[in-house]
Amino acid sequence: MYSYKKLETIIQQCSRCPLSQSRNQPVMGRGNMKPGIMLVAEAPGAQEDLQGVPFVGPAGRVLDILLASAGLTRQDVYITNIIKCRPPGNRDPKPEEQNACLPFLRAETTLLKPPVIVCLGRIAAQKLIDPNFKITKQHGTWVQRKGYWMTAVYHPSAILRDPSRLEETKKDFQSIIQKLKEIEESKFPL
């Protein structure tokens, strides 16, 4: 396995799918390099494509509210996306684009080894947890895969569209903090 720096260089130069033609720049993950929690969203939007940083647009403000409600800041978590380049017009990423980009997410996961992975929204949950994942019914539920605890919550953009989802998503973030605590306590039982 290569270093994070090398991964960053590979992603910056990537032309594995046609999104490399339309992007301004790929958007690499950001945040804590030894995170308890890795948040995986869908794809960069317009602002992210311009600035090269995840969640700097309107959805980012909702994400900050959710993190703060759980006593977290962006420096406490690592935030990344299933695909690193913006799909034109913010359409859903195509399966072939997701598959082309997935090795990068795998590399990020292997390098950072977060005990908890949180999918932000349906696209990430269906790619990482279950292709039939129903975010309305299954958000906040937990599965353990290959040593990682995984859950999914509403995407911050979905909360912007329907603010009534904010409170239940704050509860899901409480359950994320609780899970992290349980994992820590099981490592150091005394």
Residue from the set 11, 38, 39, 41 that interacts with ligand URA by CB under 6 A:
41
**How many residues sit in the footprint of ligand URA (CB under 6 A)?**
11
Instruction: Pick between residue 61 and residue 181 the one whose CB is nearest to ligand URA.
Output: 61
- Phi and psi torsions of 152, nearest 5°: -140, 145
Instruction: Pick between residue 88 and residue 183 the one whose CB is nearest to ligand URA.
Output: 88
Told to check if 43 binds ligand URA by CB under 6 A, we report yes
Residues in region 44-103 near ligand URA by CB under 6 A: 44-45, 48, 54-55, 57, 59, 81
Least distance between ligand URA and beta carbon 127 (Å): 12
What distances in angstroms separate CA 140 from CA 18, 144, 145, one per listed residue? 34, 13, 16
138 touches 121 (CB < 8 A): no
Q: Residue 86 has what DSSP assignment? A: P
37 touches 80 (CB < 8 A): no
Between CA 43 and CA 106 the distance in angstroms is: 16
Q: Residue 56 has what DSSP assignment? A: -
Instruction: Pick between residue 73 and residue 178 the one whose CB is nearest to ligand URA.
Output: 73
Instruction: Pick between residue 1 and residue 86 the one whose CB is nearest to ligand URA.
Output: 86
The residue ranges that bind ligand URA (CB under 6 A) are: 41-45, 48, 54-55, 57, 59, 81
